[in-house]
Amino acid sequence: MRYNKLRISTEATSKLRSIRQRTGVTPNLLCRTAIMLSLEEGPAIAPAPDEGGQEFNAYTLTGEYTGLIAALLRFVEEDEGGASPLSNEDLVARLRAHIHRGVGTLSVRAKSAADLGRLVLAA
């Protein structure tokens, strides 16, 4: 999966601001947590609604874990029946969808930094 910059939805950006105020955790770390929470739920059916929100550089968003996140994304999203692998554009769109869904989950579950810590430990 290759990308230089990734823009998330306006709704996710708004929720990230709120979560950051409650927890003190930076948006890129919140997005990493959101990705993992969403991947646990399975494939992202609905795409992210828009790309009008915050923009992240690739290294800021996924850091040295880009390969790991891409592998997990492929594992969850690609059909085991032998269908052709997802294109790079499709993978990036699915990543955006997982961020959107995961941030929605975080906004409900993480009311404080302690809640965020419990979510990470539970996973």
Residue 106 pLDDT more than 70? yes
| Spatial separation of the C-alpha atoms in residues 48 and 53, rounded to whole Å | 11
Residues 89/21, Cβ–Cβ less than 8 Å: no
What pLDDT digit, counting tens, does each position of 62-92 carry?
989 999 999 999 999 987 666 678 899 999 9
Domains of the chain, earliest start first: 5-122 (1.10.1220.160)
Return the pLDDT at 82: 61
Between the alpha carbon of residue 51 and those of residues 19, 37, 115, the distances in Å are 20, 21, 28
Q: Which pTM value belongs to this model?
A: 0.92
Q: Are 109 and 119 in contact (CB under 8 A)?
A: yes
Count of residues for the chain? 123
Mean pLDDT of 20-41: 94
